[in-house]
A and B are shown apart, each in its own frame.
Chain A
């Protein structure tokens, strides 16, 4: 980065720091070659495949229209849909047993290994006072772990962990950046959502 002894406004100084920075000709050529080598999308080559796609599209369109007519609810954004799924899972958990009973994440971990990610310890909170166990569930059709906790007051609190995909889940607060969890209420259930270490994490409780 360039150097100078002149005093100047901070903004100008920062601009100067970056002004001379650029990729080398070789790096640029490599990146452009990479971009130029982008594979073209595959084309349908057989009549059968085209026909199957048409049948599927018509079926999907019919299903969507049927659902829309049956449920004229406004379109929800991804965090709202997460909250809806989490709230449904939370309500259902009152009537369902845990797939695995355990009082530590370490004990639960092997049972959930097929989800393809490591369960993470939640932040310390009086809401998540005592772990009771966990079960499999899904959030936005992505397989997820539901962990059952009791709060210090004895209320059931559920915590969810699933792989985070911004395309699916939308932009969510990042714990690593100190951002406060997103708080949404769905079906009377308070849902807090954030991302942490590559996972989308949510808690659900009925009492706050």
Chain B
């Protein structure tokens, strides 16, 4: 049903969502368990279905734990929209990339991962995540702002 590479892709996606290796493995396992509970005979792309299941499971769990709150509209209405070209121009070192991933919210990490690793377009991400394309573009803008702030912030001594 799924080969090693597909399971590893699911794991990397889970890692993007959770930010933690152990949590990512747990999430893949939960996704597989849920996958098996359903009739997947008519599912044409099992990996995409698994990733979607994992995503729903993860955000449902976050909601239950009330670790994410609803801030209506996320104030996205007043945020300019930028497409991925604005991120492609940015240059970072590995440490900055890692710090950026750590400071992002799960939905933002997911966005960055789907763009950089899976090669999705903004439209495809909007479809995958069930949000408007404008929301994705606004998140890109905020992410870019965060990265620029991170790069201009003075280095903290270890």
Contact = CB atoms under 8 A, between A and B. Distances in A.
A34 B130 CA distance: 29
A197 B63 contact: yes
A35 B21 CA distance: 21
Interface in B109-148: 112-113, 115-117, 129-132, 135, 147
Given A3-B94, A28-B7, A31-B7, A179 B63 contact: no
Contacts of A171: 130
A106 B83 CA distance: 45
Contact of B29 (A15, A31, A179): A31
Given A17-B101, A18-B16, A177 B131 contact: yes
Contacts of A177: 59, 68, 74, 107, 129, 131, 135
Nearest to B39: A41
B28 A23 contact: yes
A23 B69 CA distance: 31
B56 A166 contact: yes
Contact of B91 (A1, A9, A123): A9
A10 B92 contact: yes
A41 B37 CA distance: 11
Interface residues of A, number: 45
B139 to A, nearest CB: 9
A2 interface: yes
Interface string B1-15: 110100110011001
A7 B92 contact: yes
B3 to A, nearest CB: 9
B25 A13 contact: no
B91 A174 contact: no
Interface of A: 1-11, 13-18, 21-23, 27-28, 30-32, 34-35, 38-39, 41, 123, 166, 171-180, 196-198
